[in-house]
Chains A and B, each alone.
Chain A
Amino acid sequence: MKVEHVLIEKVKRGDPKAFQELFSRFERDIYTLAYRLLGNREDAEDVTQEVAWILWSKIKSFRNESSLSTWLYRVTANTALQVLRKKRKIIYVEPSAHKAEDMHLMLEMAVMDLPENQRALIVLRDIYNFPIKEIAKMLDISEENVRVQLHRARKALRKKLEGGENGGVQRSNGTNTSLREGRADEKSND
Protein backbone atom coordinates (compact mmCIF):
# COMPACT_ATOMS: atom_id res chain seq x y z
CA MET A 1 0.00 0.00 0.00
CA LYS A 2 1.39 3.39 -0.93
CA VAL A 3 2.27 5.83 1.83
CA GLU A 4 -0.37 8.22 0.50
CA HIS A 5 -3.10 5.59 0.87
CA VAL A 6 -2.00 4.82 4.40
CA LEU A 7 -2.16 8.51 5.24
CA ILE A 8 -5.60 8.85 3.66
CA GLU A 9 -6.92 5.99 5.76
CA LYS A 10 -5.42 7.54 8.89
CA VAL A 11 -6.97 10.92 8.08
CA LYS A 12 -10.31 9.22 7.53
CA ARG A 13 -10.00 7.92 11.10
CA GLY A 14 -9.39 11.50 12.28
CA ASP A 15 -5.62 11.47 12.77
CA PRO A 16 -4.50 15.15 12.73
CA LYS A 17 -0.80 14.29 12.36
CA ALA A 18 -1.51 12.23 9.28
CA PHE A 19 -3.57 15.13 7.96
CA GLN A 20 -0.65 17.55 8.38
CA GLU A 21 1.63 15.15 6.56
CA LEU A 22 -0.85 14.42 3.79
CA PHE A 23 -1.76 18.05 3.22
CA SER A 24 1.84 19.22 3.21
CA ARG A 25 2.43 16.91 0.22
CA PHE A 26 -0.10 18.86 -1.85
CA GLU A 27 0.00 22.29 -0.28
CA ARG A 28 2.27 23.86 -2.90
CA ASP A 29 0.31 22.38 -5.80
CA ILE A 30 -3.01 23.58 -4.37
CA TYR A 31 -1.66 27.04 -3.63
CA THR A 32 -0.07 27.35 -7.07
CA LEU A 33 -3.28 26.41 -8.92
CA ALA A 34 -5.27 28.84 -6.76
CA TYR A 35 -2.70 31.57 -7.35
CA ARG A 36 -2.77 31.02 -11.09
CA LEU A 37 -6.54 31.30 -11.17
CA LEU A 38 -6.90 34.19 -8.74
CA GLY A 39 -3.83 36.25 -9.51
CA ASN A 40 -2.99 37.22 -5.94
CA ARG A 41 -1.28 35.49 -3.08
CA GLU A 42 -3.61 36.40 -0.26
CA ASP A 43 -6.70 34.96 -1.96
CA ALA A 44 -4.67 31.92 -2.99
CA GLU A 45 -3.72 31.33 0.65
CA ASP A 46 -7.36 31.63 1.70
CA VAL A 47 -8.37 29.10 -0.93
CA THR A 48 -5.55 26.78 0.14
CA GLN A 49 -6.83 26.97 3.70
CA GLU A 50 -10.37 26.32 2.52
CA VAL A 51 -9.18 23.27 0.60
CA ALA A 52 -7.39 22.07 3.73
CA TRP A 53 -10.71 22.19 5.58
CA ILE A 54 -12.49 20.43 2.74
CA LEU A 55 -9.84 17.73 2.74
CA TRP A 56 -10.16 17.31 6.50
CA SER A 57 -13.94 17.33 6.60
CA LYS A 58 -14.77 15.48 3.39
CA ILE A 59 -11.97 12.96 3.12
CA LYS A 60 -14.45 10.22 4.04
CA SER A 61 -16.28 10.82 0.78
CA PHE A 62 -13.05 10.31 -1.19
CA ARG A 63 -13.31 6.84 -2.72
CA ASN A 64 -9.91 6.39 -4.40
CA GLU A 65 -11.64 6.34 -7.80
CA SER A 66 -9.34 9.08 -8.97
CA SER A 67 -6.00 10.05 -7.49
CA LEU A 68 -6.08 12.36 -4.50
CA SER A 69 -4.17 15.01 -6.47
CA THR A 70 -6.87 15.00 -9.20
CA TRP A 71 -9.57 15.29 -6.54
CA LEU A 72 -7.73 18.14 -4.83
CA TYR A 73 -7.10 19.97 -8.11
CA ARG A 74 -10.81 19.77 -8.87
CA VAL A 75 -11.77 21.02 -5.40
CA THR A 76 -9.18 23.81 -5.62
CA ALA A 77 -10.30 24.95 -9.07
CA ASN A 78 -13.95 25.02 -8.00
CA THR A 79 -13.18 26.87 -4.77
CA ALA A 80 -10.99 29.44 -6.52
CA LEU A 81 -13.58 29.99 -9.25
CA GLN A 82 -16.23 30.60 -6.60
CA VAL A 83 -14.00 33.29 -5.11
CA LEU A 84 -13.54 34.83 -8.56
CA ARG A 85 -17.29 34.90 -9.14
CA LYS A 86 -17.89 36.57 -5.79
CA LYS A 87 -15.18 39.15 -6.24
CA ARG A 88 -15.42 40.10 -9.88
CA LYS A 89 -13.04 42.90 -9.22
CA ILE A 90 -10.14 44.30 -11.13
CA ILE A 91 -7.14 42.25 -10.32
CA TYR A 92 -3.67 43.62 -10.40
CA VAL A 93 -1.18 40.92 -11.07
CA GLU A 94 1.38 41.11 -8.34
CA PRO A 95 4.94 41.82 -9.31
CA SER A 96 7.15 38.82 -8.96
CA ALA A 97 9.96 38.94 -6.48
CA HIS A 98 12.24 37.34 -9.03
CA LYS A 99 13.55 38.46 -12.38
CA ALA A 100 12.24 36.70 -15.44
CA GLU A 101 15.28 34.47 -15.56
CA ASP A 102 13.88 31.26 -16.89
CA MET A 103 11.31 29.94 -19.27
CA HIS A 104 8.92 28.87 -16.55
CA LEU A 105 8.81 32.25 -14.96
CA MET A 106 8.47 34.09 -18.29
CA LEU A 107 5.64 31.81 -19.31
CA GLU A 108 3.90 32.05 -15.98
CA MET A 109 4.10 35.83 -16.03
CA ALA A 110 2.57 35.88 -19.51
CA VAL A 111 -0.26 33.62 -18.33
CA MET A 112 -0.85 35.73 -15.24
CA ASP A 113 -1.04 38.83 -17.37
CA LEU A 114 -3.95 37.49 -19.41
CA PRO A 115 -7.44 38.76 -18.63
CA GLU A 116 -9.12 36.73 -15.89
CA ASN A 117 -11.40 34.67 -18.17
CA GLN A 118 -8.62 33.75 -20.60
CA ARG A 119 -6.24 32.96 -17.76
CA ALA A 120 -8.73 30.54 -16.19
CA LEU A 121 -9.06 28.63 -19.45
CA ILE A 122 -5.33 28.36 -20.09
CA VAL A 123 -4.66 27.33 -16.49
CA LEU A 124 -7.41 24.71 -16.37
CA ARG A 125 -6.96 23.25 -19.84
CA ASP A 126 -3.37 23.77 -20.91
CA ILE A 127 -1.57 23.62 -17.60
CA TYR A 128 -3.73 21.24 -15.53
CA ASN A 129 -5.25 19.34 -18.45
CA PHE A 130 -8.84 19.33 -17.23
CA PRO A 131 -11.21 17.93 -19.88
CA ILE A 132 -13.19 20.54 -21.83
CA LYS A 133 -16.45 19.01 -20.57
CA GLU A 134 -15.39 19.50 -16.96
CA ILE A 135 -14.18 23.06 -17.58
CA ALA A 136 -17.55 23.89 -19.14
CA LYS A 137 -19.26 22.64 -15.97
CA MET A 138 -16.87 24.50 -13.68
CA LEU A 139 -17.38 27.76 -15.52
CA ASP A 140 -21.05 27.18 -16.23
CA ILE A 141 -20.69 27.76 -19.96
CA SER A 142 -21.17 25.51 -22.98
CA GLU A 143 -18.41 23.27 -24.29
CA GLU A 144 -18.52 25.15 -27.58
CA ASN A 145 -18.01 28.39 -25.70
CA VAL A 146 -15.02 26.87 -23.92
CA ARG A 147 -13.51 25.89 -27.28
CA VAL A 148 -14.06 29.33 -28.81
CA GLN A 149 -12.70 31.23 -25.83
CA LEU A 150 -9.84 28.82 -25.37
CA HIS A 151 -8.78 29.45 -28.95
CA ARG A 152 -8.73 33.19 -28.32
CA ALA A 153 -6.88 32.75 -25.05
CA ARG A 154 -4.19 30.63 -26.69
CA LYS A 155 -3.71 33.17 -29.44
CA ALA A 156 -3.52 35.98 -26.91
CA LEU A 157 -0.88 34.06 -24.98
CA ARG A 158 1.18 33.38 -28.10
CA LYS A 159 0.97 37.05 -29.01
CA LYS A 160 2.23 38.05 -25.58
CA LEU A 161 5.11 35.61 -25.74
CA GLU A 162 6.10 36.49 -29.28
CA GLY A 163 5.70 40.19 -28.67
CA GLY A 164 8.15 39.91 -25.79
CA GLU A 165 5.53 40.93 -23.26
CA ASN A 166 6.35 39.25 -20.02
CA GLY A 167 3.56 40.42 -17.77
CA GLY A 168 4.85 41.52 -14.40
CA VAL A 169 3.23 44.53 -12.84
CA GLN A 170 1.06 45.37 -15.79
CA ARG A 171 -2.60 45.68 -15.07
CA SER A 172 -4.72 42.85 -16.36
CA ASN A 173 -7.18 44.35 -18.76
CA GLY A 174 -10.70 43.10 -19.15
CA THR A 175 -10.75 41.32 -15.80
CA ASN A 176 -14.32 42.36 -15.28
CA THR A 177 -15.40 40.38 -18.28
CA SER A 178 -17.57 37.50 -17.30
CA LEU A 179 -16.86 34.16 -18.88
CA ARG A 180 -20.52 34.03 -19.74
CA GLU A 181 -20.15 37.15 -21.88
CA GLY A 182 -18.14 35.42 -24.59
CA ARG A 183 -20.39 34.10 -27.31
CA ALA A 184 -19.68 30.73 -28.80
CA ASP A 185 -21.32 31.64 -32.07
CA GLU A 186 -19.14 34.69 -32.52
CA LYS A 187 -16.59 34.20 -35.26
CA SER A 188 -13.07 35.29 -34.83
CA ASN A 189 -11.82 37.84 -37.32
CA ASP A 190 -8.48 36.23 -37.76
Chain B
Amino acid sequence: MELIPAYVKGELTKNQMTEVSSHLQSCNSCYEEMEKWEELFAELRSLVNYTHKPEKKVAQLTKGKVSSLTPWIVGGVGLGVGVLLAAGGALLWRKK
Protein backbone atom coordinates (compact mmCIF):
# COMPACT_ATOMS: atom_id res chain seq x y z
CA MET B 1 0.00 0.00 0.00
CA GLU B 2 2.86 2.36 0.92
CA LEU B 3 4.55 2.01 -2.44
CA ILE B 4 1.46 2.69 -4.53
CA PRO B 5 1.86 6.48 -5.09
CA ALA B 6 5.50 6.03 -6.15
CA TYR B 7 4.41 3.09 -8.32
CA VAL B 8 1.80 5.20 -10.08
CA LYS B 9 4.43 7.89 -10.71
CA GLY B 10 6.95 5.31 -11.96
CA GLU B 11 9.44 6.21 -9.25
CA LEU B 12 10.26 2.69 -8.03
CA THR B 13 13.07 0.36 -9.03
CA LYS B 14 12.36 -2.27 -11.69
CA ASN B 15 12.03 -5.02 -9.09
CA GLN B 16 9.68 -2.98 -6.93
CA MET B 17 7.56 -2.08 -9.94
CA THR B 18 7.19 -5.77 -10.80
CA GLU B 19 6.37 -6.72 -7.21
CA VAL B 20 3.71 -4.04 -6.84
CA SER B 21 2.30 -4.84 -10.25
CA SER B 22 1.78 -8.52 -9.45
CA HIS B 23 0.38 -7.69 -6.01
CA LEU B 24 -2.18 -5.36 -7.59
CA GLN B 25 -3.56 -8.20 -9.65
CA SER B 26 -4.66 -10.11 -6.57
CA CYS B 27 -5.50 -7.33 -4.10
CA ASN B 28 -8.69 -5.37 -4.63
CA SER B 29 -8.14 -2.80 -1.90
CA CYS B 30 -4.68 -1.93 -3.24
CA TYR B 31 -6.10 -1.71 -6.74
CA GLU B 32 -8.73 0.75 -5.54
CA GLU B 33 -6.02 2.68 -3.76
CA MET B 34 -4.03 2.83 -6.98
CA GLU B 35 -7.05 4.23 -8.81
CA LYS B 36 -7.42 6.94 -6.18
CA TRP B 37 -3.78 7.96 -6.55
CA GLU B 38 -4.05 7.93 -10.32
CA GLU B 39 -7.01 10.27 -10.09
CA LEU B 40 -5.24 12.59 -7.65
CA PHE B 41 -2.07 12.75 -9.76
CA ALA B 42 -4.08 13.49 -12.89
CA GLU B 43 -5.85 16.31 -11.06
CA LEU B 44 -2.55 17.68 -9.75
CA ARG B 45 -1.00 17.63 -13.23
CA SER B 46 -4.02 19.47 -14.59
CA LEU B 47 -3.20 22.35 -12.23
CA VAL B 48 -0.37 23.29 -14.63
CA ASN B 49 -3.01 24.74 -16.90
CA TYR B 50 -4.92 26.36 -14.06
CA THR B 51 -2.99 29.59 -13.81
CA HIS B 52 -3.36 32.87 -11.96
CA LYS B 53 -2.99 36.34 -13.27
CA PRO B 54 -0.58 38.65 -11.43
CA GLU B 55 -2.16 41.87 -10.25
CA LYS B 56 0.61 43.94 -11.79
CA LYS B 57 1.42 43.58 -15.44
CA VAL B 58 4.96 42.39 -14.84
CA ALA B 59 6.11 42.44 -18.46
CA GLN B 60 5.41 46.16 -18.50
CA LEU B 61 7.29 46.72 -15.29
CA THR B 62 10.58 46.38 -17.15
CA LYS B 63 9.42 49.30 -19.26
CA GLY B 64 7.88 50.96 -16.20
CA LYS B 65 11.25 51.02 -14.46
CA VAL B 66 12.57 53.20 -17.24
CA SER B 67 9.46 55.30 -17.53
CA SER B 68 9.30 55.77 -13.77
CA LEU B 69 12.64 57.56 -14.01
CA THR B 70 11.34 59.98 -16.62
CA PRO B 71 9.40 62.31 -14.28
CA TRP B 72 12.52 62.64 -12.10
CA ILE B 73 14.69 63.46 -15.07
CA VAL B 74 12.17 65.95 -16.48
CA GLY B 75 11.61 67.42 -13.03
CA GLY B 76 15.35 67.69 -12.36
CA VAL B 77 16.08 69.34 -15.69
CA GLY B 78 13.11 71.69 -15.23
CA LEU B 79 14.29 72.66 -11.76
CA GLY B 80 17.83 73.28 -13.04
CA VAL B 81 16.59 75.49 -15.86
CA GLY B 82 14.34 77.35 -13.42
CA VAL B 83 17.26 77.99 -11.03
CA LEU B 84 19.46 79.23 -13.87
CA LEU B 85 16.76 81.57 -15.18
CA ALA B 86 16.13 82.94 -11.71
CA ALA B 87 19.86 83.51 -11.15
CA GLY B 88 20.21 85.18 -14.54
CA GLY B 89 17.20 87.36 -13.85
CA ALA B 90 18.60 88.37 -10.46
CA LEU B 91 21.95 89.30 -12.02
CA LEU B 92 20.27 91.38 -14.71
CA TRP B 93 18.11 93.12 -12.11
CA ARG B 94 21.23 93.95 -10.02
CA LYS B 95 23.05 95.37 -13.06
CA LYS B 96 20.14 97.62 -13.76
Contacts and interface: CB of A to CB of B under 8 A. Distances in A.
A53 interface: yes
A126 B54 contact: no
B14 interface: no
Interface string A52-83: 11001000000000000000000000000000
A158 interface: yes
Contacts of A154: 5, 37
Given A16-B62, A151-B5, 11 more contacts: A16-B63, A27-B59, A29-B48, A41-B54, A52-B59, A107-B43, A108-B47, A108-B50, A129-B45, A158-B40, A188-B2
Contacts of A104: 43, 46-47, 50
Contacts of B54: 27-28, 31, 41, 44-45, 48
14 contacts: A19-B62, A23-B59, A31-B51, A45-B54, A45-B55, A53-B62, A104-B43, A104-B47, A108-B47, A111-B47, A127-B48, A151-B2, A158-B40, A188-B2
Interface size class of B (residues with CB under 8 A): 20 to 34
A56 B53 contact: no
A53 to B, nearest CB: 7
A49 interface: yes
Interface in B1-43: 2, 5-6, 9, 11, 36-37, 40-41, 43
Contact of B58 (A35, A49, A126, A129): A49
A15 to B, nearest CB: 13
A150 B60 CA distance: 37
A108 B55 CA distance: 19
B44 to A, nearest CB: 4
Interface of A: 16, 19-20, 23-24, 27-29, 31-32, 35, 41, 44-45, 48-49, 52-53, 56, 103-104, 107-108, 111, 122, 125-129, 132, 147, 150-151, 154-155, 157-158, 161, 188, 190
A155 B2 CA distance: 10
B84 interface: no
Interface of B: 2, 5-6, 9, 11, 36-37, 40-41, 43-48, 50-56, 58-63
A188 B47 CA distance: 28
A52 B53 contact: no
Contacts of A190: 2
Nearest to B5: A154
